[in-house]
Structure 1
Amino acid sequence: MFHILNFVWFVAFVFIIGVKGSASLAVSNSSEEYGYYNIYNKIDSMQKAFQTLETNVQRKNNMLRQILQPITKMDDNIEMSDQSSQVTKTVQPLQQNDTAVGFTTKLSGSYSSTSSNIRGYNNLYNGGNGYNGTVFTCPSSGLYLFHVSLLSSTKSGGIWIYKNSQQLTLAFAGSDPQNNGASVSAAVWLDVGDQVYLRPYSSSLSLDGNSAFTGVKVN
């Protein structure tokens, strides 16, 4: 009888432990499933949040492009205008220099007649090709300025500026028989074909090579 009771208690004990184990296992499985469910929900929520953020960023980028596009066009126009003005500044003086009428030449030589034309030997500039080395022939009507400077050791040496056959102004070096300097200018209106040139003041004139003759159209 004692053995039978022990067996019954043993079976009951095993049954109770089995029920508790099953219950614990059920609770454990339920917790795991609940945990996985929460993780998936969070992942879905994060994906939706990222999608919403990406959509907002794209919308704001489009708005910024619309706002900045006119400003970018303005900058491009300003840059093109600056480049155009720089090109104009670079090219314009070249065009002016190409069409400017004027010359500068150095003078030298010895002369023994007041009817001799004084010659240039080194043309520094000859815009418009009006000066042929002795006489300037006007290629374009307008107001001209002429200037002559001389260095000479000739006593009472001097130079006249002529327009056609008319004496305009005189550069006179004085009576000291040493190297003397003098200069003179003349502003005169010229028509096409008028001629300007230089002649000695006296029948004897010797010029230093640093003497010069300049003419330029001013208007």
Structure 2
Amino acid sequence: MVHFLNFVWFVPFVFKIVEKGSVYSLAVSNSSEEYGYYNIYNKIDSMQKAFQTLETNVQRKNTMLRQILQPITKMNDNIEMSDQSSQETKTVQPLQKNDTAVGFTTKLSGSYSSTSSNIRGSPILYNGGNAYNGTVFTCPSPGLYLFHVSMITSTEIGGIWIFKNSQQLTLAWAGVGDPQWNGASVSAAVWLDVGDQVYLRPHDSTLRLDSNSAFTGVKIS
């Protein structure tokens, strides 16, 4: 009987201990879960702060990179402008000697006794395109040409005609006077087609030319 009463008293005591243990275990479990959530939130906050710091550093480095590249970009622009200016300068440089530029200059001299004689040129000072043969200029390409003749003569009645084919264009006329040295000059602008010929002939049957007389022709367009 005594043992039975002791057992009955012991059972509630055990249940209380078990109950307290369960409560303690639940408290510990709840505390662990809360602690785990706390760590996760801390990690998320740390990651956000790290990303913000990284973004700030990237922006700062981009700003520094732009500041570094800006002078280089300006330098490249200046170099390109310099190259373009150099090319433009080269484009407008005066033409050098070019044998394909059509034109000639020759000195005139000699005595002539016929109005049908072609006046000779010698020496030939320039003959671009080789279109002047010493008496006649033969057009190698169509265009506008300019011709000029200047004469010094001791003939009493002296003059020189510029001819295109069989057509008289203009006359350099020294006039009528005493047989002394007189001068005259004349020019003619004329359109020529390929094969047209330009040459000089005396105005009168007698003509004596000083060696400083000259004949020039050039294609101008």
Output the TM-score relative to the length of structure 1: 0.67
- Which structure has more helix as a fraction of its residues? 1
Q: How does 1:102-141 map to 2 (within 5 A)?
A: 102-141=103-142
What's the offset of the Cα at 1:89? 3.0
Change (3 A) 1:186 1:63: closer
Unaligned runs of at least 5 residues, structure 2: 1-60
What's the offset of the Cα at 1:158? 0.9
Q: Distance in 2 between matches of 1:199 and 1:111?
A: 9
Q: Distance in 1 between matches of 2:80 and 2:144?
A: 42
Equivalent position of 2:154 in the other structure: 153
Equivalent position of 1:189 in the other structure: 191
What's the offset of the Cα at 1:170? 1.3
What's the offset of the Cα at 1:94? 3.3
* Equivalent position to 2:215, from 208, 213, 216: 213
Equivalent position of 1:173 in the other structure: 174
Output the TM-score relative to the length of structure 2: 0.66
Q: Secondary structure at the match of 1:76?
A: helix
**Percentage of matched positions with identical amino acids:** 64
CA deviation vs aligned residue, 1:89-110 (integer Å, no higher than 9, x gap): 33x7238x54422111110111
Task: State the aligned residue count.
Answer: 161
What's the offset of the Cα at 1:119? 0.6
Q: Distance in 2 between matches of 1:143 and 1:67?
A: 54
After TM superposition, what 4+ stretches of structure 1 lie above 6 angstroms from structure 2? none
Q: Secondary structure at the match of 2:79?
A: helix
CA RMSD of aligned residues (A): 2.3
CA deviation vs aligned residue, 1:91-134 (integer Å, no higher than 9, x gap): x7238x54422111110111111111101112222222111111
Say whether residues 1:69 and 2:72 are aligned partners. Answer: yes
Equivalent position of 1:8 in the other structure: none
What's the offset of the Cα at 1:140? 0.8
Q: Distance in 2 between matches of 1:85 and 1:163?
A: 40
CA deviation vs aligned residue, 1:126-162 (integer Å, no higher than 9, x gap): 2221111110000011122211110000110111111
Q: Distance in 2 between matches of 1:66 and 1:172?
A: 74
